[in-house]
């Protein structure tokens, strides 16, 4: 075999690395098959650590203790004879050897997971963990009450919910689904529209008795307004007439002032319940308090636009295989919120 042919053969062999030869990247020598077989789980945990970026998050993802996670990685490093992880007080990063090991094993584990899920779900039973992220107000007030019924219908399924107004990365943080309050669905994910939403002005009866009920958008300027700060400039609310017979009425944008603002609609609702002023809220945040008579919708004939989006979406990452549990949960959410949040 010529020199160039030898190089090409060696290159093809490198691209076809198996688990039996992966440790040669780190240690320059192959390990016995029996020894490597006992480290398959360790390799998978290293892959999860690379995705999550911390021992705590990785342990949560795997359903194990942080101590067990740390122990497995240490065992893997001893077996490889080289450091695979760089540890600091704030974060965890893989070394070059660790990253190369992960890159060369990730596809094998993804294939194993896909094959196992396909075989497991052939029995028709949904099972496994679904990790979901949702906005705080929606998650607490609307999503959480829907979960018990789904879990009773699917006893082999577990749901881990994170409520946060931060836009989490589904791919890097390991979420299966995200619920987003957005004007449009991102084209980087598979998305389903759950429903339309609207923003409403709401205040307590005690506040309206004391300060009067606005009859036109211009009247709001003289009230204490509770608002979501979107920009560093002056706060404004924009009004559009709802009635189709008033389509010729131009939108109105007005500056507003008030004693309190917050970047969470649930907090604004609570401030309105405490008689602090008129709050602009998404309908899913206002719904329970309005139906209970604790808040009154102000200027119902006007649509207030700007701070909040007008649609809810459920998103998942692109994947060749979608677990049955995830598909069932998406269908359940779409059915549950098809009618929106009538007040």
Report pLDDT digits (tens) over 239-261.
998 875 555 667 889 999 999 99
**Is the overall model pTM greater than 0.75, yes or no?**
no
Residue 37, pLDDT above cutoff 80: no
Let me know: does 260 contact 271? Beta carbons within 8 Å: yes
Structural domain spans, the chain: 3-118, 128-195+310-336, 199-305
Residue 282, pLDDT above cutoff 90: yes
pLDDT band at 288 (very low <50, low <70, confident <90, very high): very high
Quote the pLDDT of residue 45: 83
Mean pLDDT of all residues belonging to the chain: 82
Let me know: does 305 contact 240? Beta carbons within 8 Å: yes
Looking up tokens 């506040």 gives 207
Residue-wise pLDDT for 72-120, tens only, equals 888 888 888 888 888 776 677 888 888 888 887 776 666 666 666 555 5
Quote the pLDDT of residue 144: 96
Number of Cα atoms under 13 Å in the Cβ half of residue 158: 6
Quote the pLDDT of residue 268: 96
User: CATH topology of 3-118 equal to that of 199-305?
Assistant: no
Quote the pLDDT of residue 245: 55
DSSP-based three-state secondary structure for 190: strand
Residue 9, pLDDT above cutoff 60: no
CA 60 to chain centre: 16
Torsion of CA 104, 106, 111, 117, to 10 degrees: 160
Three-state SS sequence of 233-294: CCCEEEEEECCHHHCCCCCEEEECCCCEECCCHHHHHHHHHCCCCEEEEEHHHHHHHHHCCC
CA 4 to chain centre: 50
Q: Which comes out higher in pLDDT, residue 36 or 333?
A: 333
Please give the order of strands across the beta sheet that includes 128-134. 157-163, 128-134, 177-181, 311-316, 190-196
Cα separation values, 273 from 183, 204, 269, 276, 289, Å: 28, 6, 6, 7, 8
Q: Which two tokens stand for residue 245?
A: 């017979």
Exposed, middle or buried, 229 (CB in 10 Å: 0-12/13-18/19+)? exposed
- Residues contacting 136, CB < 8 A, separation 6+: 163, 164, 165, 264, 266
Quote the pLDDT of residue 171: 64
Residue 142, pLDDT above cutoff 90: yes
Task: Report the C-alpha gap between 43 and 26 in whole angstroms.
Answer: 13
Is CATH 1.10.10.10 the right assignment for the domain spanning 128-195+310-336? no
Is CATH 1.10.10.10 the right assignment for the domain spanning 3-118? yes
Element (H, E) at 191: strand 190-196
Task: Report the C-alpha gap between 208 and 206 in whole angstroms.
Answer: 6
| Mean pLDDT, range 34-42, rounded to an integer | 69
* Of 213, 180, 176, residue with least CA distance to 319: 176
Quote the pLDDT of residue 266: 94
Look up the CATH number of domain 199-305.
3.40.190.290
| Mean pLDDT, range 35-42, rounded to an integer | 71
| Mean pLDDT, range 160-176, rounded to an integer | 78
């Amino acid at each position: 075999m010529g020199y160039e042919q030898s190089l090409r053969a060696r290159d093809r062999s490198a691209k076809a690395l198996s688990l039996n030869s992966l440790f040669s990247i780190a240690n320059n020598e192959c390990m016995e098959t029996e020894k490597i077989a006992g480290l398959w789980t360790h390799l998978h945990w290293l892959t999860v650590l690379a995705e999550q970026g911390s021992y705590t998050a990785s342990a949560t993802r795997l359903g194990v203790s942080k101590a067990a996670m740390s122990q497995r990685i240490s065992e893997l490093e001893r077996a490889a004879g080289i450091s695979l992880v760089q540890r600091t007080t704030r974060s965890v990063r893989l070394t070059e050897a660790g990253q190369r090991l992960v890159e060369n094993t990730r596809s094998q584990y993804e294939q194993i997971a896909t094959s196992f899920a396909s075989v497991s779900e052939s029995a028709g039973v949904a099972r496994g963990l679904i990790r979901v992220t949702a906005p705080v107000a929606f998650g607490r007030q609307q999503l959480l009450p829907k979960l018990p019924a789904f879990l009773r219908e699917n006893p082999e399924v577990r749901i881990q919910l994170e409520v946060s107004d931060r836009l989490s990365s589904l791919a890097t943080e390991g979420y299966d689904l995200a619920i987003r309050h957005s004007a449009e669905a991102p084209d980087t994910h598979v998305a389903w529209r759950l429903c339309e939403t609207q923003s409403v002005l709401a205040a307590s009866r005690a506040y309206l008795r004391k300060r009067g009920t606005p009859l036109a958008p211009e009247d709001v300027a003289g009230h204490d307004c509770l608002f979501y700060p979107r920009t560093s400039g002056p706060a404004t609310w924009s009004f559009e007439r709802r009635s189709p017979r008033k389509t010729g009425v131009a939108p109105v944008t007005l500056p507003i002032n008030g004693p309190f603002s917050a970047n969470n609609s649930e907090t604004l609702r609570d401030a309105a319940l405490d008689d602090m002023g008129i709050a602009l809220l998404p309908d899913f945040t206002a719904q329970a308090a309005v139906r209970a008579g604790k808040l009154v919708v102000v200027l119902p004939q006007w649509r207030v636009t700007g701070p909040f989006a007008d649609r809810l979406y459920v998103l998942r990452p692109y994947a060749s295989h979608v677990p049955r549990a995830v598909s069932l949960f998406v269908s359940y959410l779409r059915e549950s919120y098809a009618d929106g949040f009538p007040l």
